[in-house]
Structure 1
């Protein structure tokens, strides 16, 4: 049975670069991890966490998760490796497929807890940041099942059915081809169903986390509940060999129990509030440029914070306002160039006779020869001028009553 339209199976899933095999299954897992870490870093920074924490925690969580996923697969399908005709060494061949998501989550969470303890951050807060990234990693990783042509569902006759080559069709426990499916070429592409479901879970988790402010691990719990809900009906479509308990596959029972636990946690943590431990965020340098102003982003006006810089700036402004600008001082006059007589400024006596024009000219010529004297000696200039040759009109007045110093005697009238 083969429909006219279907999803073709890949021609090969391994390429060789010399002696090194490059497997599509491993490439899908690596791409999924990179996407999960990238998105987790962005969400962690948006929560206020220090950059680089998600990468450091992933160094612990990813190896633990891979080991846990492989252990779960080997334990639940032990007959494939330790049963009759099984090869135990194949349990180590992780590149051939076989990773159980439940074991990956349990041991991956243990590795994440160790990384969080080393950085001093809350594992619940980190789980909220990484939850949608894990869902996208699963969506990408499921395409590894496509390249390996494994984990498909029941036969399907429709245009979205997946064609499986004869060598990869279901077999009996002994290794012989199952006659029930030997002639069936197309099956349910359960890898595609789960991949699309995980993309929807990632979108749901991001939206609900923002809409309802899911913190303290509630975003991660929502991811777990949503994933297990889809995994339950997808698991019921698969026809690969698995253990059954009470008529259901073991993975179905696991999905039910994990779903109940996630819902119980959401109910228990519904009222958890308060700050989360996001570790030590590097302090912003106090250079005055990068620090936001007080009240920025609140839509209200607020005064700047009080501090040494603010007080100093205020004092500088007050001094600038209080101190008037100095007025320009006139340049000092070295020589009197005005028409006023220096004798009249120096000696304020009203009744002293003024010298004649000829005496004044001689005094000015003597002052020009000498250096300019300070202002306080200006009063002695008439005396210095009279020590030299005196003009005759002054001598005529001194004959009337001059003292020994040569100064004119005042009238007694």
Structure 2
């Protein structure tokens, strides 16, 4: 069964909703929305590839069996994507990009989680348009995912979730919904084509594994961390250096105290709130960074920006009143 243009339209709508919500959550944690667009350029194609690989692994006979056609493995328009493969490869791509940019992965994943479950609402309606799911299933899945999106945002704020705990809760909520929603898929084309393992669809086993991973992750993380991270960037993050080099703003670690009396060297700090323990930099929204999140990729270059400038402490006068020496 091939994908219809309407299905593709709903998928694009789902991606747009996910990016919109992720942008809100990321900026609320002190990040630049420019980070999101830079990472999305890589993670979205990676998720598409991962979803296709998931389908090929789950249904190899259609492409690599005696009567299969290996060339059809590249025919994305013919349909066949797996959610868990898309999630795994997308997360791996995000890990690589955040590591390169100097962005902390866990707070980024926490920002992505509400957007992911919101975007899946549009994706479910796309499957209904292509007659892959029944209307009852789509309505139930949409309501479940909308409730999940709201709960992730509220719980994360009330309980001060961080360190990947929001993403772990997303795994639990989405996987739990996937288990009982599979019962509603009976009679739909998606259920008829499902691969069975020990009497249950493969999707159910995948959801059970994801549920266990999410529960263990959440419990272990809450045992260690009761408050969110103090910053979302690592020290000397490339993404902030790039903006400074392009004149977007002057970056200096915010919320970081000098290491010793009169020591105002960049990066010298002992304040644990500023992130001296793990080498991170706390950059609250609107302090030390471009408040509108302008980025060198130019995605929002046409939007008027309000830029917050933080003076370089090395340019200040010394404590004894004399100007700084030439060296």
TM-score (norm 2): 0.66
| Alignment partner of 1:145 out of 106, 123, 127 | 127
CA-based RMSD of the aligned residues comes to: 2.8
> 2:184 is paired with a residue of what secondary structure?
coil
After TM superposition, the structure 1 = structure 2 runs for residues 13-412 of structure 1, keeping only pairs within 5 Å, are 14=4, 23-83=5-65, 85-152=67-134, 162=135, 189-238=136-185, 239-270=191-222, 271-272=224-225, 273=227, 275-279=229-233, 280=240, 281=283, 283=288
1:85 deviation in Å?
4.3
Task: Verify the 8 A CA contact 1:97 1:145 in the aligned structure 2.
Answer: no
CA drift of 1:87 comes to 3.7
Q: Is the 8 A contact 1:216 1:276 kept in 2?
A: no
- In structure 1, C-alpha distance between the alignment counterparts of 2:289 and 2:48, rounded to whole Å: 38
Specify whether residues 73 and 194 from structure 1 end up closer, same or farther in structure 2 by C-alpha distance, changes over 3 A only. farther
How far apart, in 1, do the equivalents of 2:34 and 2:138 lie? 32
**C-alpha displacement of 1:70:** 1.1
Shift of 1:274: 6.2
Counterparts in 2 of 1:284 and 1:24: CA distance versus 1, 3 Å: closer
Shift of 1:108: 0.3
Residue 298 of structure 1 is matched in structure 2 by none
Equivalents in 2 of 1:144, 1:46: separation in Å? 30
User: Which is greater in Rg?
Assistant: 1
**In the alignment, is the contact (CA less than 8 A) between 2:288 and 2:309 conserved in 1?**
no
Quickly say closer, same or farther: Cα 1:150–1:79, change in 2 above 3 A. Answer: farther
Alpha-carbon distance in structure 2 between the residues aligned to 1:112 and 1:223? 17
Secondary structure of 2:192's counterpart equals coil
Length, aligned pairs only: 239
Structure 2 gap ranges (5+): 186-190, 234-239, 241-282, 291-306, 311-315, 322-327
The answer to which structure has the higher helix fraction is 2
For 1:257-284, what per-residue CA distance to the aligned partner results, in whole angstroms no more than 9, with x for missing partners? 1100100001100031463541245726
* Secondary structure of the corresponding residue to residue 42 of structure 1: helix
- Output one character per residue of 1:214-263: Cα deviation in whole Å (capped at 9) or x when no partner: 10000011011000001011123333222222211111111111100100
Q: Deviations over 1:366-389 (max 9, x none)?
A: xxxxxxxxxxxxxxxxxxxxxxxx
Shift of 1:60: 1.6
In the alignment, which residue of structure 1 is the partner of 2:273?
none
Q: Secondary structure at the match of 2:71?
A: helix
**TM-score, normalised relative to structure 1:** 0.53
Asked whether the 8 Å contact 2:11–2:122 carries over to 1, the reply is yes
Distance between the aligned counterparts of 2:15 and 2:79, measured in 1?
16
1:262, 1:284 → 2: CA distance? 33
Q: Note the alpha carbon deviations across 1:29-83, whole angstroms, 9 max, x for none.
A: 1111122112111211111112311111111211111110111112112233334
Q: Relative to structure 1, is the Cα distance of residues 81 and 147 closer, same or farther in structure 2, using a 3 angstrom cutoff?
A: farther
- Distance in 2 of aligned mates of 1:52 and 1:146: 34
Asked if the contact 1:25–1:95 (Cα under 8 Å) also holds between the matched residues in 2, the reply is no
